[in-house]
Amino acid sequence: MEFFDAIANMSALSFAQHMVNGISLGSLYALIAIGYTMVYGILLMINFAHGDIVMMACYFAFFGITAFHIPWYFTFIITIIMTALLGVLIERSAYRPLREAPKNSILISAIGASFLLENLANYLFSGRPMRFPDVPLLSQNISVGGIEIQAICLVIPVVTIISLVVLLHIVNHTKTGMAMRAVSKDYEIARVMGINIDNVISITFIIGSALAAIGAIMYGIRYPGITPMMGVMPGLKCFIAAVIGGIGNIKGAVLGGFILGLGEILIVAFFPDLSGYRDAFAFIVLIVILFYKPTGLLGEKNNGEGVIMTRKRDALLTIAGIIVLFGLAFFVQEEMDSYIRRIVNLCLVYAIIGLSMNLTNGFVGQFSLGQAGFMAIGAYTVGIFTVPVEFRENVFYAVPMNPLIAGYRAAAVGGAAFWAACLPRCLRL
């Protein structure tokens, strides 16, 4: 009934306003989702750091305008270049050394790169929210047919369409694009044909990161709040958009972005009481799509490659499950009360412990009773590197034991040096 009442009470102008906002938001998702789908199309892996690259691009633009007083149009160009270089740096440091490793190793490395960027931004820029600087030309409101629209809402779809056209031309009508398509089909055959695999992958990251920077600039102008964690939820949604449209398909990423953007805005329009759950819409759509069409709306069809397609589908379902779990956990942290947050956090901690014990017991066949000790080492290590020195006495209860601990410091250092010297010999044995 609420849905029909909202339709009956909504004017044509209000509906048009919501549609413009939805198309604008969908265009942002599409720009960022293209980066996901390009990397997946080449490497068959999800760049979990992509959302955090968006966050870093926002900070690049912010400090370029506010701290260095560079005109906004030059700042945006510099931001795109710096973000593209950041993408290449991440590819060469986190992904290239593990290219021949199992996909799970690359997945873990991608998650690590994401956490590194978030904590680096928190350390360098603090966690205090900052406001993206106003760009008068793009921030002003204009009237179109009686509708007050921010200029950036009209610019974003145009930029998205232009970016899509240019990208499709590069992929389909240039030698670089031909090399990308060849690498996406088969690494080894592409290498035999004389294609430099490393260069092709680096170019892919450059293009994907540059598009992320464009999306970040548009996002910062449209939604001015900047924090080190701002890339998490947009990154998850853009990955979902890529999956909905068919990950690995550029047009599909754009389609998925528009579906998500319009869906979120229309939920707020027709179900205002559910506006706090707009983020959950993306995860619901993801689950439905994966159940009924795992390859996405425009994904590749099964053309006799049943085993390969099954493996791709299983890998995609696994990654999507991780994304859904992470997204729901993030949603709980932001929206639920402290009691529910505590329960969810405990469940996630126990799940991680269970996973670690499953690795040692289930795969190696060795039952470990020392997992709690490893947890303690990890907790104290994080505390040492994150808790300010002046607060450590209130955190580390072992402070009164410091004289006793100090008495064994030399022995500990000597023992560590001994084992470091003996380790290579032990490994050879």
Q: Are residues 281 and 380 in the same domain?
A: no
Q: Are residues 91 and 9 in the same domain?
A: yes
pLDDT of residue 26: 93
Cα–Cα distance measured from residue 119 to residue 126, given in angstroms and rounded to the nearest whole number:
9
Q: Are residues 186 and 300 in the same domain?
A: yes
Q: Are residues 371 and 418 in the same domain?
A: no
Q: Are residues 78 and 95 in the same domain?
A: yes
Cα–Cα distance measured from residue 192 to residue 52, given in angstroms and rounded to the nearest whole number:
35
Cα–Cα distance measured from residue 111 to residue 213, given in angstroms and rounded to the nearest whole number:
20
Q: Which residues contact 296 (CB under 8 A, 6 or more apart)?
A: 242, 243, 244, 245, 246, 247, 249, 252, 256, 289
150 pairs with which residues across the strands? 141
Burial of 79 (0-12, 13-18, 19+ CB in 10 A): buried
Angle between helix 278-292 and helix 250-270 axes, rounded to 10 deg: 130
Q: Are residues 407 and 387 in the same domain?
A: no
Domain with residue 11: its CATH number is: 1.10.3470
Q: Are residues 290 and 358 in the same domain?
A: no
Q: Which residues contact 280 (CB under 8 A, 6 or more apart)?
A: 331
pLDDT of residue 419: 44
When divided into structural domains, the chain yields a total of: 3
Cα–Cα distance measured from residue 315 to residue 302, given in angstroms and rounded to the nearest whole number:
16
- Are 59 and 123 contacting, i.e. CB atoms less than 8 angstroms apart? no
List the structure tokens of 300.
């590749």
- Are 133 and 72 contacting, i.e. CB atoms less than 8 angstroms apart? yes
Q: pLDDT (tens digit, 0 to 9) for every residue of the chain, 429 residues total?
A: 555 555 556 677 788 888 888 999 999 999 999 888 888 877 777 788 999 999 999 999 999 999 999 999 999 999 999 999 999 999 999 888 887 777 767 777 888 898 889 989 988 888 889 999 989 888 888 887 777 888 999 899 999 999 999 999 999 999 999 999 888 888 888 888 889 998 999 999 999 999 999 999 999 999 999 999 899 888 888 888 988 888 788 889 999 999 999 998 888 888 877 777 777 788 888 877 877 787 788 876 554 444 455 555 566 666 666 666 666 676 666 667 778 888 877 887 777 777 777 777 666 666 666 777 788 788 778 777 777 766 666 665 544 444 444 444 444 444 444 444 444 444 444
Q: Are residues 102 and 149 in the same domain?
A: yes
Cα–Cα distance measured from residue 185 to residue 190, given in angstroms and rounded to the nearest whole number:
8
- DSSP codes joined into one string, 178-192: HHHHHHHH-HHHHHH
**In which domain, by residue range, is 127 found?**
2-335
Q: Are residues 406 and 386 in the same domain?
A: no
pLDDT of residue 369: 65
Helices and strands, number each (H, E), in the chain: 19, 4
Where a domain ends, among 289, 316, 335? Answer: 335
Where a domain ends, among 335, 361, 381? Answer: 335
Q: Are residues 16 and 70 in the same domain?
A: yes
Q: Are residues 287 and 380 in the same domain?
A: no
Where a domain ends, among 335, 358, 387? Answer: 335
Q: How many CB atoms lie within 10 A of CB 158?
A: 10
pLDDT of residue 402: 47
Q: HEC states along 205-252? A: HHHHHHHHHHHHHHHHHHCCEECCCCCHHHHHHHHHHHHHHCCCCHHH
Q: Are residues 291 and 407 in the same domain?
A: no
